[in-house]
């Protein structure tokens, strides 16, 4: 296990930040599914750098080339491979990192793990840039899901301690999800954009960075997806979401908040709605009970740590001299990656949900 | 995927709460590892019910029978199967649940998932009792780890909003872990026991329940375990921890707290200690950078929701009549499962860490 | 990977020949499937020893105890665990094997693999007896398949160079499969029983053993099961069939015979039958093209080597003295395991086919 | 499962015969392994078409582009992606195949499996051309193995019923393997080349094709690799080898021949050689006992059916008219793919053996 994931729809992610390129192979997609490439590009664009002062000034078009698996923009059932070339690389920026690892980054652990053979330019395979492959795969999966009535959208739940309005777990409007799906700074309450941007800018001016939380909702899921124990919806999604660099926590529904609630409040009362469907009055469960979907919206939050690469002088070690040292990072870095993490969280969720939809143990 | 987990050491969990019994098959254990069965029983006993007013009054000896894989208390390399019989079952208590699903429990989702063929007696395969197999497997794994200098211990980080002292991520004393490993109400600051127990008792008297958080530390890990993306330490552990019933959140190091920190504070400065080892001054990373261990203590927190089975009247649906209904749950339930979740979290962590130790991609 | 197999329906096999017992956990079975335990016992009985002079005189009732996963003889969707106790063990018979490994057996390789910690009594986990767990799992799977019109039967294709009539790959009658399913010495042409038994008896009198070939057919399969490359029907079935001890070859359809055929003869011409179904005039493909079922009968042959444990003096090494030595094996051994391998091949095939039926990549 | 394989070193194969290109992602390679690209190209060239009258006249340079995973020709530990572009495609040749499926080919089964959405141009993902990705992966793996003293070589065991001298399983000279590794028509006894080529030419002139058998040997393996049951060497290798298009049988050591041997002859006597190593006098086991390597040469044979695409008129069905029909295949096809299958078998074996070497369940 490493950069390969999945049981039904499998992805194999490859690439490095400053190598030839990156991409993904998606194996196990159902055949005959139309892929709207404009929609895929739109999702890729939401993650791509160079559009915003919260993000790195590195510019990449991030246009994927399809090598296999599509014919006339329709899945053939064969593995779909998409490649994204790197163009705007300035590897010289990272020349000293192998010697003085960046605090909070994978430089040191990757050096140990790979005996210093890892590609450290731009973070190599550990770079957030590699998530472009996840976004591509997710963009394909969500089109397949949308045709089955399943919609996915995420927003910036918090940046630097400033919070957006959370999802109402009982009712997530379709129009809201579609608006979020189009946004580069996805918020439910757009009034939070200004203070959030101010906090990011303040951090940037201080050569610092900030973290945040992404909240994602999935609507239209039938009840009965997932399995007990290790095949649960939470297990499947967390095994993907923790694959996004900088993620340090994942919670569903009330999540850590559930820990200080009483059962009488946390339990979501069941009722029959006007259509005869079983629903719950509240949704502290985040749409999942016993690892299995309830049919209510799925709600998952993902904690994103502040960007590790900051330009302030930092204490580190010099692996050559064996002495403590001071590091001043150069290069282009996002003072806050949370806005760009939003489409990645959506994409990872789409991939996980499609896998769950394809299980079903039916004959 | 469902009740089977693992790539190197694989477990297959089976059993139902009120069936013949439950257990685990562990495949892939290294051969020649001594298993101290007294130590295993001690860990099983920490999870077993019937010892404490916070827990269900159901009494079970939970003594595992070993069917295979051990010879003279040493692993043979063949799959190790342990079976625990159910004795003290009172299935009549659950007779009405198939009709009126308990809010917050898996009754409804399991009925949908398995077309009402699931065993609903005592929660069946969804019961917390099934975690006895995880505890058994973990008890074997931790003995193997201990011989390699790796120790694991967890404590009640919070119950009902009352907090214990957290681990100091920079230095987790061996004696502390060993004391926690022996405790049925594991706390760093034992002064929190009385208020926590009072909160649980108050909930119990109100026919209610409370949740909490378990914090687990692993010491003695070498730097360099784990992989980027989906093979990361966080992915591996969360895919196990979310398999424990009632877990709704998992976070590492500063976790969700990292979301409101700045990079300059969150980044853990590297330094050389007196022995020449690379260490960090703080440990907001929880011992993991880029999915790979840093060599600092691994810190993971798991949110446990309040017990779903409470005896207060609750709103639910009647699946026979198709009408809304009121449910009054009978049966024996823990008003708080957090103390008993502590050894389960330790066990799941041990299993995950042993898998990571056995990867290593070396020849 | 070791004694665990499967993606949809997973089995985890455990046990040793002379330990407490053996068994299997089956995870991922569809819920609501009736299991006729008498039929299961009948299949277990076909494999069980003690009924025939071709087999070991060791007697075992081989009655499985169901620990989980069934309620009122119907699958619940939870893992099904079956345990078979060992009773008639005479471990003293094997006391010298750790020192002088039997030629042709796993004694030596297991000692190296497991650093001499493996249980060598009766072959331990390498014993053919462990296949009882496969037969149990297969007996459950074939009942599920039978309800979907899929039937499986195998016969002794050859013993000691004496051949039965092969299956006619174009047309395998249901009555034939059902007769084979009930037989302990399964032959299409019963006239071959006498010469085959004579050859086995002759080997037994010479303190020797003989091998053979098992041929298995599956009817009622729809076209379109399986996948290209590593997900092909051949890959799935061979990964199971080579798990049966003593199997040294697996071939499909014309198999090795295809190597000396011309394409014009080997290619099976397509035609429409009276019902409008696409069929082939011949079936050299064994019902599989490109890894995917054609809808014609699936034909697979499995080569079984002669029993390694023979009582003639044999040259071996003495691992204690470091000298060459002579070994005279005692104990109870089958001079020919082919008749008992027939139900094991059927069971492994059933398990593989059920997995393929449950793939389908559909939403 | 489909075009993804592996537990330690995983490959994900993608591509179609007449699409943009094809390739492979290799995940889990150890870091720091030098890759001699000239040697890789040499192996790619042995499989590439256009060099020989036994093969298709289609010419492809088959030069892989490395997108990731290598830095200064050394593995970084990150996934290695290699892409091979298609150039010489003449898709018009295949225009009628969706309507009239070729007998013996995957046209019909793929159409059913993928609901006619599969790319049928040149066989699409089912084309033998896709094995170029396997050869690339194997060429990398065998360099890693060679540094550990493990060598792999295969030869044409038979074509059209004409046999080469088989490997002597007890002693396979290094020089022989190295000679085979360089050959495009790999034979132990070069005198068989003329009659084999004559048989192929005769088939070609008759618009027909012939099949054959590839025999592969692996030397330098330590004893103790592999596991019982489903983790055995036979299971691992067969799950790969059956992924090569046209393979219909796999056998190890004496294989199907073992079925007519007696135990006294088949059992390989152990002895100590001059260096104190345990060896066997014969090697009917093909270097594997109980699924685990003995330390003797590993011997595996793979049956290759005659090329399905022949130009003689053949009986098939017309899926448009629903009537039986006559098909005359045009296009460029190999009258015999056995010589080009030799490096593919070697490559698949290398990949399987490297996985087995990396297991070892050691801490």
Residue to substitute from B20, B78, B114, B123, interface C, most C β-carbons within 10 A: B78
Chain D interface includes C173 (CB < 8 A)? no
Query: Of the candidates B75, B12, B97, B19, which has an alpha carbon nearest to the alpha carbon of residue B333?
Result: B97
Measured between beta carbons, which residues in chain A are less than 8 angstroms from residue D20?
Answer: 65-68
The tokens for A86 are 């790197």
- Measured between beta carbons, which residues in chain D are less than 8 angstroms from residue C248? 234, 251-256, 258, 286
pLDDT at residue B277 above 80? yes
Out of D28, D148, D228, name the one closest to residue B361 (CB): D28
Under an 8 A CB cutoff, do C67 and B15 touch? yes
Average pLDDT over residues C120-128: 90
Subunit contact B117:C3, Cβ cutoff 8 A: no
Calculate how close chain A gets to B72, using CA atoms only, in Å.
32
> Alpha carbon C223 to chain centroid distance?
24
Question: pLDDT tens string for chain A (363 positions)?
Answer: 589 999 999 999 999 998 999 999 999 999 999 999 999 999 999 998 876 666 666 666 788 999 999 999 999 999 999 999 998 765 555 444 579 999 999 999 999 999 999 998 888 999 999 999 999 999 999 999 999 999 999 999 999 999 999 999 999 999 999 999 999 999 999 999 999 999 999 999 999 999 999 999 999 999 999 999 999 999 999 999 999 999 999 999 999 999 999 999 999 999 999 999 999 999 999 999 999 999 999 999 999 999 999 999 999 999 999 999 999 887 667 899 999 999 999 999 999 999 999 986 555
Q: For chain C, say whether B69 makes contact (Cβ under 8 Å).
A: yes
pTM for the predicted model, two decimal places: 0.96
Angstrom distances, CA of residue C295 to CA of C131, C227, C348, D214: 29, 14, 20, 29
Interface test with chain B among A16, A133, A229, by most B beta carbons within 10 Å: A229
Nearest to D78 among A69, A115, A124 (CB): A124
What pLDDT, on a 0 to 100 scale, did the predictor assign at position A94? 46
| Residue contact A262–B203, C-beta within 8 A | yes
pLDDT cut 90: percent of chain C above it? 87
Which chain A residues are Cβ-neighbours of C28 within 8 angstroms?
Answer: 361
What average pLDDT does the segment C14-40 reach? Answer: 96
Distance CA(D235)–CA(A90), nearest Å, equals 47
Give pLDDT tens digits for B210-266. Answer: 999 999 999 999 999 999 999 999 999 999 999 999 999 999 999 999 999 999 999
Q: Which of residues 128-167 of B touch C (CB under 8 A)?
A: none
Per-residue pLDDT reduced to its tens digit, B315-347: 999 999 999 999 988 766 789 999 999 999 999
The reported pLDDT for the residue numbered A62 is 81
Mean pLDDT, residues C84-105: 74
Cα–Cα dist C317/C314, whole Å: 10
Residue C207 region by backbone torsions, left for phi larger than 0, else alpha for psi between -120 and 50, else beta: left
Task: Please report all neighbours of C, defined by 3+ CB atom pairs within 8 A.
Answer: A, B, D
D288-289 and D292-293 beta bridge pairing = antiparallel
How many CB pairs below 8 A link A and D? Answer: 160
> Which residue stretches of chain D have pLDDT < 70?
1, 51-60, 89-97, 331-332, 360-363
Mean pLDDT of C254-281: 98
B89 close to C (CB below 8 A): no
pLDDT average, residue stretch B134-159? 98
C-beta of residue C214 within 8 angstroms of C-beta of residue C157:
yes
User: Closest to D361 (Cβ–Cβ): which among B28, B148, B361?
Assistant: B28
Q: Does B10 reach chain C within 8 Å, measured CB to CB? A: yes
pLDDT of residue D55: 64
Shortest CA gap B211–chain A (Å): 4
Q: Tokens 């009986």 belong to which residue?
A: D315
Contact D117 A32 (CB under 8 A): yes
Weakest mean pLDDT among A268-282, A299-313, C75-89, C142-156: C75-89
- Asked whether the beta carbons of residue A253 and residue B258 sit closer than 8 angstroms, the reply is no
Closest chain C C-alpha to B167 CA, distance in angstroms:
37
- B229 contacts on A by Cβ (under 8 Å): 2-3, 5, 13, 125, 130, 243
A72 touches chain D (CB under 8 A): no
Mean pLDDT of C8-31: 96
Element (H, E) at B214: strand B212-219
**What is the mean pLDDT of the segment spanning B62-79?**
94
Q: What pLDDT was estimated at residue D94?
A: 46
pLDDT of D96 reads 43
DSSP assignment of D27-58: E-PPTT-B--HHHHHHHHHHH-SSS-TTS-S-
**What pLDDT sits at residue B312?**
94
pLDDT, mean of residues C174-192: 97
The answer on pLDDT for B361 being more than 70 is: no
pLDDT tens string C317-330: 999 999 999 998 87
Count of other CB atoms within 10 angstroms of residue C198: 12
D313-324: pLDDT as tens digits? 999 999 999 999
Contact B209, A263 (CB under 8 A): yes
Please give the average per-residue pLDDT across C76-85, as a whole number: 96
Cα-based angle C31, C37, C40 (whole degrees, multiple of 5):
100
- Contact at CB, A8 and C361, closer than 8 angstroms: yes
Of the candidates D146, D88, D131, D40, which has an alpha carbon nearest to the alpha carbon of residue D341? D131
Any idea what the Cα angle at residue C8 is, between residues C33 and C81, rounded to 5°? 55
The CA distance from D350 to D151, in Å, is 9
Chain D nearest CA to A26, separation (Å)? 9
Q: Which helix (H) or strand (E) holds A234?
A: helix A233-241
> Could you tell me how far CA D215 lies from the centroid of its own chain?
10
User: What is the nearest CA distance from C362 to chain A, expressed in angstroms?
Assistant: 6
Q: Which residues contact A223 (CB under 8 A, 6 or more apart)?
A: A278, A292, A293, A294, A295, B108, B109, B112
Q: How many residues does chain A have?
A: 363
Tell me which residues of chain B, numbers 278 to 337, contact chain C at a CB-CB cutoff of 8 Å: none
Distance from CA of D66 to the nearest CA of A (A): 8
DSSP for B137-176, please give it: HHHHHHHHHHTTT-EEEEEEEEETTEEPPPP-TT---HHH
What angle, rounded to 10 degrees, do the helices at C233-241 and C338-358 form? 140
Q: What is the distance between the alpha carbons of residues C84 and B65, in angstroms, rounded to a whole number?
A: 14
Chain C residues with CB under 8 Å of A30 CB are 361-363
Question: How near does any CA of chain C get to the CA of A238, in Å?
Answer: 20
């Amino acid at each position: 296990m490493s950069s390969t994931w999945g049981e039904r729809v499998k992805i194999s992610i490859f690439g490095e930040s400053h190598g030839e390129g990156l991409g993904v192979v998606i194996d196990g997609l159902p055949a005959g599914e139309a892929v709207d490439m404009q929609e895929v590009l739109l999702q890729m664009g939401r993650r791509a750098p160079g559009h915003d002062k919260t993000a790195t000034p590195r510019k990449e078009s991030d246009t994927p080339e399809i090598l296999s698996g599509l014919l006339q923009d329709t899945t053939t059932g064969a593995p779909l491979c998409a490649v994204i070339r790197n163009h705007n690389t300035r590897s010289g920026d990272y020349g000293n990192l192998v010697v003085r690892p960046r605090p909070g980054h994978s430089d040191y652990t990757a050096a140990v793990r790979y005996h210093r053979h890892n590609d450290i330019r731009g973070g190599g395979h550990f770079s957030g840039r590699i998530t472009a492959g996840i976004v591509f795969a997710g963009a394909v999966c969500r089109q397949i899901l949308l045709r089955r009535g399943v919609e996915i959208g995420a927003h910036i739940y918090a940046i630097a301690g400033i919070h957006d309005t959370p999802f109402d777990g009982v009712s997530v409007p379709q129009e809201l999800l579609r608006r979020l799906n189009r946004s580069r700074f996805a918020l439910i309450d757009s009034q939070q954009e200004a203070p959030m941007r101010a906090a990011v800018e303040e951090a940037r001016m201080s050569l610092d960075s900030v973290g945040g939380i992404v909240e994602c909702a999935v609507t239209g899921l039938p009840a009965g997806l997932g399995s007990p124990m290790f095949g649960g919806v939470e297990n499947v999604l967390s095994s993907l979401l923790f694959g996004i660099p900088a993620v340090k926590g994942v919670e569903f529904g009330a999540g850590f908040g559930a820990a200080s609630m009483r059962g009488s409040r946390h339990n979501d009362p069941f009722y029959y709605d006007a259509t005869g469907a079983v629903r719950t009055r509240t949704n502290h469960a985040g749409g999942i009970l016993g690892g299995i979907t309830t049919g209510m919206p799925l709600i998952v939050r993902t904690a994103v740590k502040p960007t590790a690469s900051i330009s302030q002088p930092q204490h580190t070690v010099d692996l050559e001299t064996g002495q403590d040292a001071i590091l001043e990072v150069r290069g282009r870095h996002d003072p806050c990656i949370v806005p760009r993490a939003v489409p990645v969280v959506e994409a990872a969720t789409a991939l996980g949900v499609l896998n769950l939809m394809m299980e079903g143990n039916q004959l």
